[in-house]
Amino acid sequence: MSDVSGLNSRFGIADQLVFNEIPGGLIVAEITNKLAAARIALQGAHVLTWAPKGHKPVIWLSEAAKFAPGKSIRGGAPVCWPWFGAHPEQSSFPAHGYARTVPWEIIDARALGNGATSIALRLKESDATRAFWPHATPIECHITVGTDLEIELITRNQGSAPVTVGEALHTYFAVSDIREVQILGLADCTYFDKVDNGARKKQAGAVSFSGETDRVYLNTAADCLIVDPTLRRRIRIAKRGSQSTVVWNPWVEKAEKMGDLGQNGYLKMVCVESANALDNVVSLPAGQEHRLWVSYSVEPQS
């Protein structure tokens, strides 16, 4: 059941959750409760926006984002799965997998006792998805919208052999000015520097930005903090089931070539992605499941 009226009849929650079709033909779950507001596209199980009550938006969505079936959306929290980056063997396959550009279906929605709202989605498999990924590995995305935003990816291996999965929540966070922002929590980590031909380096102190940045930090399960002195806030990124953290900002030249970041959009966002990539891809035995969980929250900065 994917039509809006059917979704509202089955899963809508009075004064909290309503489904609407937006220009471009995508269906979006719109959540507004006493704690926060968020929008989630059913295509890709893609969180588009989230703002806790009393705060400016935390999740950044490009003003020039395009919304169309089968096309990736610039901003929000795209689901990269079942591989991260280029496919290891098939260069013609879509970068970061196909999960973010295919339909997902709602399997549950409920109002929680603390005032938050939860929604659960499952990727709809098809001949097209099986052409990319023939393995029996259903995936669900569980999202809880409240004072914190929680997202959990659950991959189950229902096949008879192990599979290797790469994944990330490619989340775009809203900042005042990337040139003033620092990221804490990655000091002394080894990272793979995509801007420097994949050189492996060690992070010294906080991460700051003065040009294109595209790094995969390896073997780290630590919380990260996005410190934004102008907005006087820190965004905390906590995670479980993730051993990589990806930090990305395209900077001006690449942003102009991309065409959907908006006017100086690169100044207003930074991606801090909870991932399992490169050395940290997940080997999932038959009959087992893997959970990648994140929690985003806002802390004041004096």
Measured distance CA(83)–CA(256) in Å, rounded: 26
CA-to-CA distance for 4 and 255, rounded, in angstroms? 35
Distance CA 251, CA 273 (A): 17
Q: Which residues are catalytic?
A: 170, 273
Tokens of 212: 């294109």
Greatest Cα pair distance, the chain, in angstroms, is 54
CA distances 19 to 11, 110, 129, 164, 176, Å, are 9, 14, 25, 35, 31
Q: What count of Cα atoms within 13 Å lies in the side-chain half-sphere of residue 271? A: 32
Tell me if 68 sits within 8 A of 102, measured CB to CB: no
Question: How far is residue 172's CA from residue 270's CA, in Å, rounded to a whole number?
Answer: 6
Element housing 119 (H / E): strand 117-123
Amino acid at the residue 45 = A
Q: Which residues contact 162 (CB under 8 A, 6 or more apart)?
A: 283, 284, 285, 286
Residue with tokens 């926060």: 36
Are 285 and 164 a contacting pair, CB within 8 Å?
A: no
